Amino acid sequence: MGLIGCSEKKEVKKEFQLFVGTYTDGDSEGIYKFTFDGSTGELTNKNLAAVLPNPSFIKISKDKKNLYAVQETADYDSLGGGVTAFKLKDGKLELLNSMGTAGKHPCHVALSGNGYLAASNYSGGNVAVFKLRESGSLVLSSQIIDHKILDTTKTSHAHMAKFRGNDLFVADLGLDALKRYSNLNHFFASSEQATLNLAEGAGPRHFTFADDGKFLYVINELNSTITVFKQKMDGSFKEIETQSTLDAAFEGKSYCADVHLSPDGKFLYGSNRGENTIVIFEVHPNSGKLSLVGRESVRGDWPRNFALDPSGNFLLVANQRSNNITIYKRDIEKGTLEFLNELQLASPVCLEFLD
């Protein structure tokens, strides 16, 4: 009785693997893997994990058994780009199969957790939904959700999809909207709230949900804002505020890219390409609204995706044009970032931790 001492506490894991998706029109060859030290914030042991054309977005399955990567091209086949499934075995990637996404320049992959994958085709203006085998390999596309037919005046650009419960949400930069679909007997059809509209010219790019699903945060590429939606009692979402991601004194051109909540949901981060910063907001625990904390230089050019490490203690930024990954220590209480170090890598775009 009462003999369990502090020395018997489970030690927190301090080392993780980081996979990085890149553009391969320069010196990069595909997907790279690093070792991340969760105590010092250093990246080491660079390895080429897979040779693949333009794996600009990668995603690891929740069970850590598979990794998926887009091939952001227009010539995987006659219809456009492709998506590739890998098996993760002992931290290494083993190719399973690849398939066309039926649209040009796929830029994002989403996983449902129950056997579906959605690939968003930016130039194709559509979303390809695949079924997955138990092994994680791709089955021929089961459905193409075409946004080109939804608006005759705007050009659709599907940029990101996310499964949430029985629904599939898709950010369409060209239509200034999030489209919402429900899974009806293995077919995704428009839900009762088919559209979440953004401001004209906003260009919704990426989005994230609060853990409880009550709030939805959309980062808009073209007008450099973040829009907050609140879920109502009937399950629909209503816009409650929009905040600029840029310093009022900034006068150049800038385009938002990625957005993430901290693991505890207290802070929201977004990347600005042009201003070249990570903007930091505090999230009000009850209203979900945002209060500006500040912004941190990415110490590079054109920050694309960024990632918080599994501990939430560090934030890493992929700077596409300056060919570097910058690493920051995160203040858990204040949300602020402190630059630690950087690593050179050609055209990094997407960062994905295997914990």
Three-state secondary structure call for residue 6:
helix
Q: Are residues 121 and 156 in contact, defined by beta-carbon separation less than 8 angstroms?
A: no
CA distances to 151, 204, 311, 348 from 40, rounded to whole Å, are 50, 35, 12, 21
Give the residue from 291, 294, 275 showing the smallest Cα distance to 283.
Answer: 291
Q: How far apart are the first and last CA of the chain?
A: 34
Q: Which two tokens stand for residue 5?
A: 């001492």
CA distance 260 to 240: 19
Neighbours of 200 (CB within 10 A): 9
Residues 6 or more apart from 207 whose CB is under 8 A from it? Answer: 160, 162, 169, 171, 178, 216, 217, 218, 219, 259
How many residues comprise the chain? 355
Angle formed at CA 252 by CA 249 and CA 254, multiple of 5 degrees:
105
- Using the structure block, give the residue that is written with the tokens 């990567």: 69
| The pLDDT of residue 13 | 61
Please give the backbone phi and psi of residue 8, each rounded to the nearest 5 degrees, phi first.
-95, 5
Q: Summarize the chain as % helix, strand, coil (round to 5).
A: 0, 55, 45
Q: Are residues 143 and 160 in contact, defined by beta-carbon separation less than 8 angstroms?
A: no
- Using the structure block, give the residue that is written with the tokens 């390809």: 128
| The pLDDT of residue 9 | 41
Q: Are residues 153 and 176 in contact, defined by beta-carbon separation less than 8 angstroms?
A: no
| The pLDDT of residue 154 | 97
- Backbone CA torsion sign across 174, 177, 178, 184: negative
- pLDDT tens for the chain, 355 residues: list them: 444 444 444 455 689 999 999 999 999 999 999 999 999 999 999 999 999 999 999 999 999 999 999 999 999 999 999 999 999 999 999 999 999 999 999 999 999 999 999 999 999 999 999 999 999 999 987 799 999 999 999 999 999 999 999 999 999 999 999 999 999 999 999 999 999 999 999 999 999 999 999 999 999 999 999 999 999 999 999 999 999 999 999 999 999 999 999 999 999 999 999 999 999 999 999 999 999 999 999 999 999 999 999 999 999 999 999 999 999 999 999 999 999 999 999 999 999 999 8
| The pLDDT of residue 142 | 79
Three-state secondary structure call for residue 147:
coil
Beta-strand runs (E) in 223-283: 225-231, 237-244, 255-261, 267-273, 277-283
